[in-house]
């Protein structure tokens, strides 16, 4: 089965099936199903008209789609929406309320998946390669820059990617972040080596960030060099190593996704934040001032690393299994993200 | 070079005197739900 077909099946299943649980006997919920069925059918009918030779005149498809959507959500008069009228007709008995937008989004996803399965040219781009292919097909030169991609080709999950290496056969996706709030430090107690990240490498399918990709990092070098084999301090990595006792301040690191539609997955909180850890160069317990702080909205975390013992090093890192190892052995570092539906 | 020239603005605070002090400092910078904190 092709990928668009799989996506279509998933979308339709999520929209139409309630798995094996029997539906509750409820007139409002039953009628809402009919609202959804009518909208789905009417939207697909619009696209069918547009696809049938000789096609629709410019603007006709949009007006057809808008007319259907207005009927579902009431357009400028929400009270006239299909769901709103049912909630007024069956007061206190509807199983759900205020779910017009949620179901409309589900229908939009199903329509997009249907179109994509039946005509690959209509698929929403999920990767920079998709964008590149479309540009090349349109005889436009693919250039690096910001493009809108859709997670899972879902029209409800857009994000702005920076597409890099668009002139190559395998362009790569980056997530643009606020440079001042995405940094990693290595401190010797006097001067700091700091890398700032203005873009993070992200896999558009798995939404995993590569903490080691420094294509868009800028590094100011202090006395401590980045980990062996690396030209930058990895994202999510703070290390402190001073020749003196009891000096500071701590080395810091921060990853902040503010302004993007992404947050960390709950996995970073699992097992009392076991995703993070402090490691010392001699396996001794780390000082209690080594701290990892994850914001409650899961969009940022901060690290602080310090070692009060002169001649020793401590680091506080994300992705503990990969980044807490000896600096020269660092070969990977990942941060899992999720799309935050608005 | 002066020390603070190299320190990121988020890190100009003096080294905390204790874990409790650090927790309090972080907590006061947050709004809404408290952050999740790991202390080594």
Q: Do B37 and A192 touch (CB under 8 A)?
A: no
pLDDT score for A222:
82
Residue B21 has pLDDT above 60, yes or no: no
Spatial distance between the Cα atoms of A19 and A14, rounded to a whole number of angstroms: 9
Q: pLDDT of A123-173, one tens digit each?
A: 999 999 999 999 999 999 999 999 999 999 999 999 999 999 999 999 999
Query: How confident is the model at residue A38, as a pLDDT?
Result: 98
On whether the CB atoms of residues B37 and A295 are closer than 8 A, the answer is: no
Q: Which residues on chain B are in Cβ contact (under 8 Å) with A291?
A: 19, 22, 26, 37-40
Nearest CA in chain A to B12: A249
CB contact (8 A) between residue B12 and residue A249: yes
pTM value is: 0.84
**Complex ipTM over 0.95:** no
The verdict on a CB contact (< 8 Å) between A296 and B30 is yes
| Rounded mean pLDDT, A287-311 | 93
Percent of chain A topping pLDDT 70: 94
For residue B39, what pLDDT is reported?
87
pLDDT at A304: 95
Q: Does A218 touch chain B (CB under 8 A)?
A: no
- pLDDT above 90 covers a percentage of chain A that reads 84
Confidence of residue B40 (pLDDT cuts 50, 70, 90): confident
Decide if pLDDT at A117 tops 50.
yes
| Inter-chain touch B6–A191, beta carbons under 8 Å | yes
Question: Phi first, then psi: what are they for A286, rounded to 5°?
Answer: -75, 150
CA A249/CA A111 separation, integer angstroms: 55
Q: What is the pLDDT confidence band of residue B11, given thresholds at 50, 70 and 90?
A: very low
């Amino acid at each position: 089965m092709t990928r668009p077909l799989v996506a279509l099946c998933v979308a339709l299943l999520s929209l139409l099936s309630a798995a094996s649980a029997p539906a509750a006997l409820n007139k409002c919920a039953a009628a809402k199903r009919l609202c959804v069925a009518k909208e789905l059918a009417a939207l697909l009918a619009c696209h069918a008209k547009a696809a049938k030779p000789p096609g629709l005149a410019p603007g006709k498809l949009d007006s057809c789609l808008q007319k259907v959507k207005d009927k579902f959500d009431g357009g400028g008069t929400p009270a006239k929406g299909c769901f709103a009228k049912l909630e007024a007709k069956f007061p206190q008995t509807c199983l759900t309320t205020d779910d017009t937008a949620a179901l409309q989004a589900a229908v939009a996803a199903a329509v997009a998946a249907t179109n994509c399965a039946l005509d690959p040219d209509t698929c929403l781009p999920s990767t920079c390669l998709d964008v590149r292919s479309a540009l090349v097909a349109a005889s436009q030169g693919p250039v690096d820059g910001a493009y809108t991609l859709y997670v899972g080709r879902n029209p409800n999950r857009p994000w702005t990617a920076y597409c890099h290496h668009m002139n190559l056969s395998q362009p790569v996706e980056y997530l643009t972040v606020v440079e001042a709030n995405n940094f990693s430090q290595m401190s010797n107690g006097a001067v700091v080596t700091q890398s700032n990240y203005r873009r993070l490498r992200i896999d558009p399918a798995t939404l995993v960030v590569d903490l080691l990709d420094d294509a868009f990092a800028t590094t100011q070098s202090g006395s401590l060099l980045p980990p062996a084999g690396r030209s930058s301090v990895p994202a999510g990595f703070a290390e402190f190593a001073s020749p003196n006792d009891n000096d500071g301040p701590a080395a810091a690191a921060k990853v902040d996704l503010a302004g993007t539609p992404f947050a960390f997955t709950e996995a970073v909180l699992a097992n009392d934040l076991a995703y993070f850890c402090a490691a010392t160069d001699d396996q001794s317990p780390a000082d209690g001032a080594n701290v990892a702080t994850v914001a409650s909205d899961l969009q940022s975390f901060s690290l602080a690393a310090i070692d009060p013992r002169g001649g020793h090093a401590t680091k506080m890192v994300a992705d503990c299994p990969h980044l807490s190892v000896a600096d020269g052995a660092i070969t990977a570092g990942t941060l899992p993200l999720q799309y935050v539906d608005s | 070079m002066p020390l603070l020239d190299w320190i990121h603005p988020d890190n100009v605070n003096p080294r905390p005197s204790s874990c409790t002090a650090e927790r309090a400092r972080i907590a006061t910078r947050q709004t809404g739900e408290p952050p999740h904190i790991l202390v080594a």
